Structure 1
Amino acid sequence: MVALELIKAAQAGDRDALVTLLRQIETHVYRTAYYILGNEQDAQDAAQEALIRIYRKIDSYEEKALFKTWVQRIVTNICIDKFRRAKPTVSIEEHDMSFTAETDVERSILTQDAAKDVREAIGRLPEHHRTVVVLRYLQDFSYQEIADSLNLPLNTVKSYLFRARQQLQQMLQEYEKGGVRG
């Protein structure tokens, strides 16, 4: 994701390197915040706060962990803090899903409905389950990277993912049967 030379230059006070570094990670930071928090405004606020924190604390980054793990830990902690302060009602918007025009309109509609169901189901997960799902399936983190990002034991991450998948499966079966959403 990011070259080590760029990180070192930013740590040495090179403002251009720091700006370049922040630009390279801003999409990943926003995407994580969006899927954890579930709405655009909160995600923008959290992403901005995370980028500012990264800007201020770049000197504290050590090569012991991957840079992306360090960044995800920051954005995830900010999102968790937002949950604890506000306990928001999550409504995942149709924001990040883009579909190309298909010749079969019905198939396109069904695909969009299924994607919406998945987003809504993820939004209904408890905060800790939603966070590991986002990091694993949307950010493509390994189990160990998730554990490092969240400062959790590896087996706890595996357990959270297992339970989250069970919950998602149950919710999606309810959707398929026409169950109540939300």
Structure 2
Amino acid sequence: MSGHTTEAMTPDEIDDLARRARDGDRDALEHLLGAIRPRALNVCRGVLPFLPDAEDACQEALLNIATKVGSWHGNGRFTTWMHVVALNAARSTYRRLRNQAVAADPQEVGPLDRPDPRTTSVIAGTRLDLLDAMETLERDHPKYVEPLVLRDVYGLAYDEIAALLGLPLGTVKAQIHHGRQLTRPLLRDLS
């Protein structure tokens, strides 16, 4: 497998590397991290449009993957599990950056109550007001966040989300529907 890029590796090859890494093969772990890095970075860039921020989140995601690869049970594709880890790292980085901006001198930063359209990302359908809405939803109704983000931001299929989260398909669909209803009023009108 040496010399393979992520595009050249099949999902089965990535799953095989992940199984070997999970079982303690350090070389497989290093190869796996290299193979999935571009995909993890793309997930992070979907949330964080500024490349250095996305790269920081990607590094956090790869560290989490390296230390928690044993928690992947092999029930679904490794890349789906990795997607969730990368998404969580990007959201964590976003929260940290937002908190730093709020803690900064308001005279320097400017008003934070309305997003600046120049800094509002529409990459992969993600907007900063959506991330704020997800924070509120996570605080008030946490069970809806992950299925909603996996479906509406990253476009995973309902059955793939159900397998990843270990939930019945009908439950996933209901959680996404209810999550959308709860999120809609939290989104700001930027027009």
Aligned residue for 1:10, secondary structure, equals helix
Q: Does 1:55 align with 2:74?
A: no
Q: Per-residue deviation at 1:6?
A: 1.7
Alpha-carbon distance in 2 for matches of 1:39, 1:150? 30
% identical equivalent positions: 28
Q: Which moved more, 1:122-131 or 1:73-82?
A: 122-131
Which residue matches 1:102? none
Identify if the C-alpha distance between structure 1 residues 12 and 147 changes in structure 2 by more than 3 Å, giving closer, same or farther: closer
Q: Does 1:16 align with 2:35?
A: no
Identify if the C-alpha distance between structure 1 residues 167 and 85 changes in structure 2 by more than 3 Å, giving closer, same or farther: closer
Which residue matches 1:75? 86
RMSD: 3.9
Aligned residue for 1:64, secondary structure, equals coil
Query: Where does structure 1 lack aligned partners over 5 or more consecutive residues?
Result: 94-117
> Given the two structures, how large is their TM-score scaled by the length of structure 1?
0.59
Q: Does 1:145 align with 2:145?
A: no
Alpha-carbon distance in 2 for matches of 1:125, 1:57? 30
> Given the two structures, how large is their TM-score scaled by the length of structure 2?
0.57
Which residue matches 1:126? 130
Q: How many residues align?
A: 148
Aligned residue for 2:156, secondary structure, equals coil
Q: Per-residue deviation at 1:126?
A: 1.3
Which residue matches 1:156? 175
Identify if the C-alpha distance between structure 1 residues 120 and 29 changes in structure 2 by more than 3 Å, giving closer, same or farther: closer
Q: Per-residue deviation at 1:139?
A: 4.7
Which residue matches 2:52? 41
Higher relative contact order (CA 8 A, sep 6+): 1
Q: Per-residue deviation at 1:10?
A: 1.4
Alpha-carbon distance in 2 for matches of 1:2, 1:36? 27
Q: Per-residue deviation at 1:125?
A: 3.9
Alpha-carbon distance in 1 for matches of 2:92, 2:75? 25
Q: Which moved more, 1:58-67 or 1:153-162?
A: 153-162
Q: Is the 8 A contact 1:34 1:40 kept in 2?
A: yes
In the alignment, residue 72 of structure 1 is paired with which amino acid? H
Alpha-carbon distance in 2 for matches of 1:2, 1:35? 25
Q: Per-residue deviation at 1:44?
A: 0.3
Q: Is the 8 A contact 1:30 1:47 kept in 2?
A: yes
Kindly provide the CA deviation profile for residues 61-94 of structure 1, in whole angstroms up to 9, marking residues without a partner as x: 212343122212211222222233332678367x
